[in-house]
Structures are given as structure tokens and as C-alpha cells.
Amino acid sequence: MASTATRPDRTTATQEFLHNLRLLPRTLKDAWFRIGHTPESEREVSQATFHNLFLHIHSVRVHVRTLAPAFTLGLGLISAASFVVLCITGVLLMVYYKPSTTLAYDSIKDLHYVVFTGRFMRNIHRWSAHVMVVAVFLHMARVFYTGSYKKPREFNWLVGLALLVLTLALSFTGYLLPYDQLAYWATTIGANIANSPRELTDAIGISTWFDPGGFQKRLLLGANFVGEDSLIRFYVLHVFVLPVLLIMLLGVHFWRIRKDGGLARPEEPMGGPAEWGGSMKRVFEPLATKTYGLMALVKGRRPTVNRGPENTVMSWPHLFWAELAVFMLTVAICLILSFYSDAPLKELANPAVPENPAKAPWYFLGLQELVSYSAFMGGLLIPLIAWVGLALIPFLDRRPGGEGVWFGTPGERRVAWQSLLFGLLTSVGMLAFTVNFGWLRNWFPRIHQLWIIAINPGSILVLLYAGWSLLVLKRKDSVRLAAVALFTCFLIGFTVLTYFATIHRGPNWQFYWWPSQWPVH
Amino acid sequence: MNDPSTRFRWVLLLASLVTIGYLVAAALRENFLAEWYTLQKEYRQLLQSKASDDQGRALARDFRIELKQVSVPQLKAVDRCVSCHNGIDDPRMTGVRQPHAVHPGDILKNHPADRYGCTICHQGQGVATSFRDAKGDDVSWDYPLLTRELTQSSCLACHDVERLPRQQVALVLEGKKLFDEKSCASCHKLGGRGGTLGLALDNEGAKTRHQLIMVNLKPPYTTWRWHQAHFRDPGGVVAGSQMKNPTVTEHEALALTAFMLSLRQRDVPESYLAPDKIEQKARALHPQPLSGERLYRNYCFACHGDGTYGRWDTTFRRFIPAVRGPSLLATADPAYLEAQIALGRPGTQMPAWDARAGGLQPDEVKALVAYLGKSGGILSGKTGIFDRFAQNDNAPVLARGDANRGAALFIQNCAGCHGVAGHGGVAPELANPTFQQAASDAFIVTTIRNGRRGTAMPSFQPRVPGARSLSDAEIADLLAFIRALGPAARKPQTALVPNDLVKSGGSR
């Protein structure tokens, strides 16, 4: 028998079988883990990253600046981590949630009161959604202020903007699902914002033939009012379509980080020690006894000779510890918030009893304030201008330099402070003016609506910000500084308007100093 | 070597510990520290202490500590009250503190909890598992837990309260009686019948706190506290309210509140309706007409009082005429009164009462007019008062008058009370279309000549020597002017047949 020759000390197949059975744990481990022990050599450490399906989107080595918390503040990771938390808690909630107008509310009540950890999971879902929206805005600000949108990262900036819209859409579609008073009326507001082109088409009298506003609203709601059709439509968007799109774009976003050469960083000084502890050895130590004929083409600004990728560390384990830490921190913060604060749930949605004030979700409240002045301007034109403006930034500011560092261009910090002040004063001033004196229709009751569409607090603010930015452009002779001015104004304006509409707008959208002063109804 | 990942490992450890800690804390809070958990453990001890036979001991042994609920799909209710109220159907649980005590009375004999649940009678947030949420009065829940005395208002969902044992629904019955006595339907429609000055009350019990003005109340903001405050002081609760203060005691206000809460159109499946309720619904299809006296009490009393005197109403800022004044009844014919009642006085607070508006059937209007005719007032004992007119030999000469001369006379003698253009105020509105349509010339002239005893309308042809008096020609001029105030088309001088008017349904 030929097989006897291949079995060293074994004589029977049975013994071979038993031998293999005994060795099962080890052979299983060897099959699964190619290295089988904590990676030791640099080669093994590289393979830990390179050969892993989930990890190999990371580069094998990362620059030390990537790991500096003060640089990125981990905001991108926080956004991604909160998205992961949302997916997990979302799937758990999907087990019990029922997307029907007659069943939705009761299913949320059951989740809260009966389902094991239901209350906690729902709270986590709600809080991590808030965290995600805040984080993506702050992440965008970080990328802007560190100039990390510059060549070759322009496309990633655009992908990020698309992700921003998807995040807001996910949050908005999820808002309707509990189908309580809050959900119903916030969605009504949102749908009517989608209907805002009507203000313009009504004012010029063409609505009967051309009604994009009505079309958008019906497309969104699946009917002329929020109801059964809207709920199922929002549900499908929220649990499938939008998450799939987001994950795809997120993949592109991460891939582009790789292809664009990692996170943006400033010019490497020639020579000089690594930033983290002078005792780190050089990555590439050319030996005197060897000649090196290897040449590599890398993306960079100048040729380097006799140097390896300095100031980099292995991704395994440093980058992954960092990522895990940020993930866990995000999870911990979401849990703490969820433990102490319940997600709100008001009475069952009742089309006959409107909420007063009916408010959109908080990240749309700034928009709602603008819509209260002019639906078309605030609901369509200003957001469009803002979004297109943001998208154009990397294509208008193409001068290299200053990326990878906060306020890298000289004079940037100062311009940012000045713009903050300017944006604050103008937005607060505009709001104070309208609260005290009203606007055009208070003084001229019969003027045409087109005047109000053109001249309203929102459009005035846009013009003021644009004017300020052009002033900076001229006086500081720098596109980047003009961009900083405009972006800062936009950020502060958005924040002020959102705060104002959240706290100081009460029933009938009247001004109140505090919610405790709202008349009880 | 300076390991770049040391700080991250510390953060990871800390964050993981915090995460685990909060997960454990949440699990504990939800399961072992929950209100219902502690209460069920207490109850199990109670069961053990009260166990006196094998059955009792078995009950105590088999008692499981878990969330409990009663699910009644036909009533769309899932009531988790029984997670804390474990002893509601255990007769031994007397003299123990709530929530372990047995349900009072013998309601549960006819309304077992597993068929009815709890919230059909008690309201509250049945799906909740904590007392604060179940009470529902300071959380976002439409129908908070009813107080003990007001629970009886739920009986109307399935029962005819008139057929229930009196002492169980005493408050609702008293409220119903007060509703009629205080003549609330003068302004508030109920069952399609009533006035229009106030809101219809058919589904008042279904209102949530968001549909009532709570500005002038203190928390807790429940609908019954609103009603109690509103009955005691309507103007204080609703700014600018035209409602007259019904002057009720606290107890009467509570009774009326119970009645208000019982007015609720509930969607209860037929199998749950009591037979007496079904009979009540059948009776409602063919309602018995009410007597004239009941009609007056229900629909007229609130504004007209006992009807024997006219008065100026400060809330309405208008004069309310004496509809049972013998002086009026001596000159008006039944057709006139029926028209006034059926069509009302548009533009004033007097609503139309015919079948399409106020909901009174034609024979009820007739009965009301007959009642008015029977009233004694100052000159008691008079019968057949309407016959007087037919034989009145003071029938005036209705010569054609001059409206321009009449205008001057009107300003001098009438406008002070009746208003410059006859729009009333201190005195009835002469320009009112219903008045113009239904009042005959003879009625107007006789009133001017003889005045209205018991009211502020003087006689303009007093038979007192030396007193100021208008001539027949002057009165004819006034008549012409008064007619000119009203609509151009004027009906001929025959008494209008009532059916005509009611059928035409108020042409204005």
C-alpha cells in the first residue's frame, strides 16, 4: 500500500484519523490565521494589514500626523463610528418596528416599555443620530480649516458633501418613523419646504402649468399629505436605499484617502527627527556596504534620495488602536447620553391637531427660520447656493500650501476671527431687526410677493456674507482667505439661526425669550 | 521606546469600561430596579402571608415575577396595569396598600379584566410600565388616568346611564340634569339640537388638552380640571368668552364635568354594548318631542330667563326681549312667534331654531309657542290671549305714510333705544330681516300705540289727558319708515301661514 510510505510512525488509518482529530484546535487555528501568532517581524506586521479583508483598505504604514488627535480631532472616525452604531441599533429596532400608520406608534411604545433593552437601543439610535449630524458638520469644518480639500483631494471633498446630504436625508427620513405628533408635523414642515418653489411660481402665476414644488412634495410624500404612503416610503429610504448609498460613498471616501496619499499633511522638512520622540529610528537606514538600485515613483513635490517613508509608523497596531479608541469613545458617549435622556415621543400623530409651533428636526431649524421669511429663498435658493458654494471651494482655491495644518495660511486665524464677529453681528442684528420691526409686508401690506422673495433677511445675509468675502478677497489678496471668510460666516450664520429657531421661536413662530414663556395650549 | 499607541490603548480601556458599566446599569435599571419588579416581589410576599390553604399556597408558589399585560384586541387595548396591580381580582387583598389591593365594588364581576382590560373605563396609558407614565397627566398622552369620581363617565361608552343603578352613576346623572336645568343647549348643540353661540358638545369627552385653552390654569393640565374651572368661571378661563356664568357649586361643577366627559363617540364593538345601550340607540332614531315647558327650559332659559322682563345684556351688548311678556303676547300672533323662533334674528345672538339649524321639529316650535301663550306673567289668569287680536276693535287705519316724515319722527322718538338705523341695542332690532318678514303692519302699529307693559317701550298714544301723543298719520309715517329699514320686498298684510315660512327655511 502506497500510503504507508507517507505515514512516518503510523501504521493504520485509524491512528492517523485520531491523530488529526487531536490536533484539530491547532490545525484550525493555523488554517484561519496565516501567521498564527502576534505579528513580530515587519513583514508579518505588514501582512496583518495587507492580507486582511477588512483592514486592507488602510495603508500598511501611516504618517504620524494621522494619529495626532489635535489635528483631526477624530471627527471623521466619530462620524463613521456613529454610523456603525446607528446601523447596529437600527437593525435591532427593525425587529420590532412596524412601518404602518396604525402600528408604528404602538410598536415604538412596546419597544420602550417591554422589549428587552428596547428603551436603551432606541435612545442610543436617537443620540448617535444627533452625534453623527454634529460630527459631519464639524468634520467638514476641520477639513476646510486645515485646507485638506486642496489638490489632489478635491474629489473627496465633493464625495464628502454628498455624504453630508445623505446624512441629513437619513436623519430626516428616520424622524417620521415613530409617527407621533413630533414626527408628523416635522415631516409636514419638511414636505412644505420641498414645496417651496411654489412661492415663486405662484408669484409669477405659472403654477397651473409648471409646478416643480408640488411635484417634489408629492414625490417625497407619495400623496398630497403625510400618511400611510409617506411612512412606507420613508421607511424604505431610511433602512435600505439611503444606507446602501451612504456605505457605497463611504467606501469611495475612504478609498480616495488612500489614493490621495493619506490624510493631508504639511511639507516634510528635509531631514530632521521624527515628531514623536527623537528616539524613533529611521525607517530606512541605508547600509554603507550595499548599493541600492531601487527607484520608486511616488507622489510628492520633490525628489528624495536615500530616504524611506520617514515619520511613518506601522498601521498594525498603532492606527488600529487609535481607530478602536475613537470608536469606543463614540460608543461610550452615545451610551452615557442615552442612559440619562430618553428619546422624545409625543402623542399619536393627529392630523386634526397641529403642533404649535410645528418644528422641523433641529438641523433644519435654521432653514425653517429662513423659510419663515421666504419659502423659495430659504427652502431652495439659499441651501442651493450654500451647497454649490461649498462644492466650488476646492476649484476656486487652487493655490497649494498650508494644507494639513490648522489655519495654515498666514493671516488665516485673524480673518477667521473677524469673520466670526462679522457673521455673528450681522445674523443677530438681522434677527433682532425682524423681531422688532417686522419686514416688508408689515410696512407695505400689498406689495408683490416677488419683492419679498428678492429682499428678505435670508437674501440680505447672503449678500452681506458675499460682500464681506469679496472685501477680504480684495484687501488680503488671497482666494483662500476669502474662502475662510465666507465659510466662517456660513458656519456662524447656520449656528445662530439654528439656535434662534430652536430656543426663541414659540407658538405661531412668535419671538419668546425662553420656552417657559410659551402660552400653554 | 515611545509607543505612539499607548495613549490610545488607555482611552480604549477607559471607554470600554464606561461602555460596559452603562450597559450593565441600563440592564439593571430596566429589569431589577424597575418599579414593577419591586412591587411584584412585595406582592409575592403578601401572597405567601395570606395563603391559608393549598390553593393559596400554590398561587404564591407559582407567582412569577415578570411583566404582565391584558391584551384586548377588540378594544385596541394592551393594558399593563396588571404588572403592578396584581391583586385586582383576589378577594383576599383587602386592607392592603395600593397597588396590591383588590378592585373596589363588584364591577369586575360583570367586567372581567381579561375581556375588558382597564383603560376602557379608567383611561390612562395602558401600555406604560411605570405609574407616572401610566397616569399620563404630565407626559405626552392624550387621555390621562381619570380620577376616582369621574371614572363613571366612561360607562356611557357601552351603557344607557338612565338604566344603571343610580348610585353608580350619580354624578353623571346629576350633570345631565344640570345641563337641562341651566339651559346649556341654548348656546351649545348636543345631539344636533341647540344654539350656535357656543361649540357643539357631541364629542366633548374626546377632546385632548391640546384642544382646550389652558393658559389660565395651573398644572396638571387635564381636561376635567379645565371643565371644572370653566364651569365655575367661563370668562376667567377663556378670555373674551360670551358664556354666562352658570353659577354652580364645586360639586355641581364636578357633576357637569362628569357629564361632559361622558359625551364621547367611542368606537366600541357591538358585542361590548349593553342591551340597554342598543335600545337607547334605537329610541334615538325616533325621538319623542319634548313639551313646550321642557323646550323653553332647555333652549331659551339661558338668555331669556323666565321671559317676563326685557333686559340689557352686558356680554352680548344687546337687548334681550321679554318673550313671555303678556304685552308682547297680546299683540303677536302665533305665526309671528313661530317665525321668530324658527328663523331667529340673523346678525344678533338669537339663532334659528328650525329643523335644519337649531334642530327643533315644526311641532316642537308650535308647542313652544303654545307654552309662551299660556304664560301668566304680570297679568295672570289670562287665557286665549291670541284671540284678543282678532277682535281688536282698535284696529288701526293703515293709510299710506311718508317715510321721510317718518325718519324725522323716528330720530326724535325711537332712535334713542332702537338705534338710528333701527339696528337695535337697548331695544329690539327693527331692521332685522326676520322681524320685517314676520311682523305684520298691525303688530307694529299696535305696539307703537299701546307700548309694552313691563318693558321700557312706552305707549305713544296714551289715553292720559295732557300727555304727548302721536297722531294716526304720524304713526303711519313711522310705519312707512320702519318698513323702509327692512328688505324691499314686503309680504302682504295677511297673517303668514307658519308652514310656508318654515318650509322656505329662512330666505335670507
Task: Choose the weakest-confidence range: A199-208, A345-354, B314-323.
Answer: B314-323
For residues A343 and A390, state if they share a domain: no
Average pLDDT over residues A26-44: 86
Q: Which of B12, B26, B127 sits opposite A109 (nearest CB)?
A: B127
**Model confidence over A450-502: pLDDT tens digits?**
999 999 999 999 999 999 999 999 999 999 999 999 999 999 999 999 999 99
- What is the 3 state secondary structure string of A179-198? CEHHHHHHHHHHHHHHCCHH
pLDDT at A132 > cutoff 60: yes
Q: What is the dihedral of CA A133, A134, A136, A140, to 10 degrees?
A: 140
User: Among the three residues A355, A379, A396, which one is the final residue of a domain in this structure?
Assistant: A355
pLDDT at A274 > cutoff 50: no
For residues A396 and A468, state if they share a domain: yes
pLDDT at A305 > cutoff 70: no
What whole-number distance in Å separates Cα of residue B147 and Cα of residue B168?
15
What whole-number distance in Å separates Cα of residue A329 and Cα of residue A339?
15
- Within a domain: residue A48? no
For residues A446 and A327, state if they share a domain: no
Task: Please give the pLDDT value at position A472.
Answer: 95
For residues A405 and A325, state if they share a domain: no
Ranked by mean pLDDT, the top range of A61-65, A88-92, B4-8, B188-192 is A88-92
Under an 8 A CB cutoff, do B140 and A332 touch? no
Distance from CA of A279 to the nearest CA of B (A): 7
Q: Which of B11, B26, B142 sits opposite A325 (nearest CB)?
A: B11
Q: Which residue of chain A is at minimal alpha-carbon distance from B213? A: A521
Give me the phi and psi of A63, to 5 degrees please.
-70, 145
For residues A382 and A402, state if they share a domain: yes
- Within a domain: residue A486? yes
Name B35's Cβ contacts closer than 8 Å, sequence gap at least 6: B84, B129, B130, B131
Under an 8 A CB cutoff, do A276 and B67 touch? no
Average pLDDT over residues A194-198: 90
Under an 8 A CB cutoff, do B208 and A347 touch? yes
pLDDT band (50, 70, 90) for residue A251: very high
- Within a domain: residue A291? no
Q: Which residue of chain A is at minimal alpha-carbon distance from B141? A: A347
What whole-number distance in Å separates Cα of residue B50 and Cα of residue B42?
12
What whole-number distance in Å separates Cα of residue B212 and Cα of residue B204?
10
Residues of chain B where predicted confidence (pLDDT) is lower than 50: 1, 376-393, 395, 489-508
- Within a domain: residue A143? yes
For residues A333 and A428, state if they share a domain: no
For residues A310 and A180, state if they share a domain: yes
**Model confidence over B322-333: pLDDT tens digits?**
888 877 877 777
Q: Which residue of chain A is at minimal alpha-carbon distance from B209? A: A521
pLDDT at A270 > cutoff 70: no
What whole-number distance in Å separates Cα of residue A346 and Cα of residue A190?
18
Whole-angstrom CA distances from A198 to A302, A383, B35 are 56, 16, 53
Under an 8 A CB cutoff, do A110 and B80 touch? no
What whole-number distance in Å separates Cα of residue A125 and Cα of residue A119?
10
Under an 8 A CB cutoff, do B2 and A116 touch? no
User: Among the three residues A355, A371, A399, which one is the final residue of a domain in this structure?
Assistant: A355
Give me the phi and psi of B487, to 5 degrees please.
-65, 150
- Within a domain: residue A320? yes
Task: Please give the pLDDT value at position A294.
Answer: 66
The residue segments making up the domain with residue A457 are 361-521
* Residue numbers in A near B80 (CB within 8 A): 113-114
Task: Choose the weakest-confidence range: A243-252, A418-427, B194-203.
Answer: B194-203
Task: Please give the pLDDT value at position A176.
Answer: 96
Task: Please give the pLDDT value at position B176.
Answer: 95
Name B484's Cβ contacts closer than 8 Å, sequence gap at least 6: B403, B406
3-state secondary structure of A272: coil
For residues A393 and A335, state if they share a domain: no
Q: In CATH, what number is assigned to the domain containing residue A315?
A: 1.20.810.10
Closest CA to B152 of B176, B131, B129: B176
Q: Which of B18, B211, B221 sits opposite A332 (nearest CB)?
A: B18
What size, in residues, is chain A?
Answer: 521
For residues A351 and A467, state if they share a domain: no
Question: For residue A420, what is its C-alpha cell?
Answer: 466670526
Average pLDDT score, chain A: 90
- Within a domain: residue A37? no
Task: Choose the weakest-confidence range: A290-304, A379-393, B9-23, B319-333.
Answer: A290-304
Task: Please give the pLDDT value at position B267.
Answer: 87
DSSP assignment of A363-392, as one string? GGHHHHHHHHH-HHIIIIIHHHHHHHHHHH
Q: Which of A180, A329, A520 sits opposite B214 (nearest CB)?
A: A520
Under an 8 A CB cutoff, do B9 and A106 touch? no
pLDDT band (50, 70, 90) for residue A297: low
Distance from CA of A329 to the nearest CA of B (A): 5
Distance from CA of B29 to the nearest CA of A (A): 10
Q: How many CB atoms sit inside 10 A of residue B461's CB? A: 20
Q: Is B27 on the interface with A (CB under 8 A)?
A: yes
- Within a domain: residue A295? no
Q: Is A342 on the interface with B (CB under 8 A)?
A: no
Task: Please give the pLDDT value at position A7.
Answer: 61
pTM value is: 0.86
Distance from CA of B1 to the nearest CA of A (A): 7
Q: Which residue of chain B is at minimal alpha-carbon distance from A110? A: B127
Q: Is B28 on the interface with A (CB under 8 A)?
A: no
Distance from CA of A212 to the nearest CA of B (A): 35
Whole-angstrom CA distances from B448 to A142, B246, B327, B410, B442 are 90, 36, 12, 11, 10
Ramachandran region of residue B245, left (φ > 0), alpha (ψ -120 to 50) or beta? beta
Q: Is A117 on the interface with B (CB under 8 A)?
A: yes
Number of separate domains in chain A:
2
For residues A179 and A309, state if they share a domain: yes
Q: Which residue of chain B is at minimal alpha-carbon distance from A345? A: B140
Question: For residue B163, what is its C-alpha cell?
Answer: 338604566
Name A92's Cβ contacts closer than 8 Å, sequence gap at least 6: A121
pLDDT band (50, 70, 90) for residue A313: confident
- Within a domain: residue A197? yes
Task: Please give the pLDDT value at position B391.
Answer: 41
Q: Which of A325, A345, A519 sits opposite B12 (nearest CB)?
A: A325
For residues A233 and A331, state if they share a domain: yes
Q: Is A347 on the interface with B (CB under 8 A)?
A: yes
Q: Which residue of chain A is at minimal alpha-carbon distance from B7? A: A322
pLDDT band (50, 70, 90) for residue A307: low
Selected for mutation to probe chain A from B3, B6, B8 (highest A CB count within 10 Å) is B8
* Residue numbers in B near A273 (CB within 8 A): none
- Sign of the Cα torsion A224, A228, A231, A233 reads negative
Task: Please give the pLDDT value at position B398.
Answer: 58
Q: Is B4 on the interface with A (CB under 8 A)?
A: yes
Selected for mutation to probe chain A from B66, B138, B210 (highest A CB count within 10 Å) is B210
Name A116's Cβ contacts closer than 8 Å, sequence gap at least 6: B30
Q: Is A273 on the interface with B (CB under 8 A)?
A: no
Q: Is B226 on the interface with A (CB under 8 A)?
A: no
pLDDT at A111 > cutoff 90: yes
What whole-number distance in Å separates Cα of residue B220 and Cα of residue B226?
10
Q: Is B8 on the interface with A (CB under 8 A)?
A: yes
Q: Is A37 on the interface with B (CB under 8 A)?
A: no
Q: Which residues pair with B79 in a beta bridge?
A: B70
Cis omega (within 30 of 0) for bond into B99: yes
For residues A449 and A319, state if they share a domain: no
What whole-number distance in Å separates Cα of residue B472 and Cα of residue A140?
95
User: Among the three residues A295, A322, A355, which one is the final residue of a domain in this structure?
Assistant: A355
Ranked by mean pLDDT, the top range of A269-278, A282-291, B20-29, B135-144 is B20-29
Under an 8 A CB cutoff, do A110 and B23 touch? no
Task: Please give the pLDDT value at position B272.
Answer: 94
* Residue numbers in B near A324 (CB within 8 A): 8, 12
Q: Which residue of chain B is at minimal alpha-carbon distance from A334? A: B19
